[in-house]
Amino acid sequence: MNVVLIDTACTERELSEPLGIETLAAELLWYYSDCNIDTVVLSLEEELTVEKLKSLTPSIIGISTKIGEEKEFNRVISIISSSFPKNDYLSPLVVVGDVYGTYAYEYILNNFPSVICVIGEGEEAWVGIYEIYSRISSKEFSVFLEALIKKQIPNIAFYKNGIHLTRRSVKDLTKSVYRNVHIYSKRIIKNNGIIRMEASRGCPWNECSFCVLKWNAKNVFDPHKK
């Protein structure tokens, strides 16, 4: 099954390694060897066109967007709509995550009710979404939503006669293997960008009431676990 992961970051802000889509790509490949993943990072001037998107024949499209990238997000949504006229079928399924998907999910779902938003960390949600999509025989969006509800996939929001939020789940990094494949590290370095190594998650300040990912000094990756 083909998955396309798109990072909408633009070079006007900062050229930074797209940890979000790299982490998701590594997680999906860890669990599903049959998963074929293509990635597109707009900050590296990787052009996304209707023709290119059609040629990738995606079953699922993931969009990683931060606050301030609404223009890029809307352009990507427009390209998806032009490539795959929408009906009640998963053609393809669109999943929105990162900061925009987490904090603006109400706006996104009210304007684009046929997408799924991931709230906070995305690994568990994406593994569940991929599993359900690959197993259900009917590709009707309404049937897919029923399967999501039955499976109780965490960290997602969707629209079904109103907006629904599933339970929150925080990844236990102490029991996890750091799998990031760093797809773009060499290109980022070549263009004088910022490379990141993830050791923990959240912000040490930990005082913002709106934050969905509180920092825990004990919840860190074990560098010896492989």
pLDDT, position 225:
59
Q: Are 194 and 19 in contact (CB under 8 A)?
A: no
Could you report the average pLDDT of every consecutive run of 10 residues in the chain (226 residues)?
A: 91 77 91 92 84 93 91 93 75 92 95 94 94 89 91 94 91 73 84 81 74 71 60
Gap between the Cα atoms of 205 and 120, Å rounded = 17
Nearest residue to 166 (alpha-carbon basis) of 219, 95, 104, 116: 116
For 2-165, which CATH class? alpha beta
Return all residues near 30 (Cβ < 8 A) that are at least 6 apart: 177, 179
pTM value is 0.89
Gap between the Cα atoms of 21 and 24, Å rounded = 5
First-to-last C-alpha distance (Å) of the chain: 27
pLDDT, position 222:
67
Q: Are 178 and 26 in contact (CB under 8 A)?
A: no
- Tokens 């699922």 locate to 60
Which backbone phi and psi does 138 adopt, to 5 degrees? -90, 135
